[in-house]
Structure 1
Amino acid sequence: MRYCFNKSFIATQELELTIFSAMFLLGAGYTLKKDSHVRVDVIYHRVRKRKKAFINCIGTIIFLIPGCFLAIKTAIPFVEASWRIGEGSPDPGGLPAYYLIKGLIPLGFFLLALQAISFFIDNLRLLLGKQARKDVKH
Structure 2
Amino acid sequence: MAISRAIDELNDRIAAAVSWALLAAVLVCAANALIRYTFNASSNAWLEIQWYLFAAVFMLAAPHTLRRDEHVRIDVVVGRFSRRTQVWIDLFGFFLFLLPICCVILYYGIPFAYESVRSAEMSSNSGGLIVWPAKILVPVGFALMILQGVSEIIKRIEYLLGRLDERAFVKQAPTPQQEIDAIKQANRID
TM-score when scaled to structure 2? 0.67
Q: Mean Cα displacement is larger for which, 114-123 or 10-19?
A: 10-19
How do 1:33-44 and structure 2 match up within 5 A? 33-44=67-78
Selected match of 2:162 from 108, 118, 129: 129
Between Structure 1 and Structure 2, whose CA radius of gyration is higher? 2
Distance in 1 between residues matched to 2:154 and 2:165, nearest whole Å: 9
Matched residue, 2:14: none
* Amino acid of the structure 2 residue aligned with 1:116: G
Residue 31, structure 1, aligned to residue 57, structure 2: no
Residue 20, structure 1, aligned to residue 35, structure 2: no
Aligned residue pairs total 137
Quote the sequence identity (%).
Answer: 37
TM-score when scaled to structure 1? 0.91
The CA deviation string for residues 61-97 of structure 1, in whole angstroms up to 9 with x for no partner, is 00001111101001111111101110121122212x2
Task: Please say if residues 155 and 168 of structure 2, whose CA atoms lie closer than 8 Å, have aligned partners that are also in contact.
Answer: no
Q: Secondary structure at the match of 2:79?
A: helix
Unaligned runs of 5+ in 1: none
- Structure with greater contact order relative to length (CA < 8 Å, sep ≥ 6): 1
Selected match of 2:146 from 98, 105, 113: 113
How big is the shift at 1:135?
3.4
Residue 75, structure 1, aligned to residue 134, structure 2: no
* Amino acid of the structure 2 residue aligned with 1:110: A
Q: Which runs of 4+ in 1 moved over 4 A?
A: none
Selected match of 1:66 from 100, 121, 124: 100
Give RMSD over aligned pairs. Answer: 1.5
Distance in 2 between residues matched to 1:135 and 1:59, nearest whole Å: 18
Choose between structure 1 and 2: higher helix proportion. 2
Unaligned runs of 5+ in 2: 1-32, 172-190
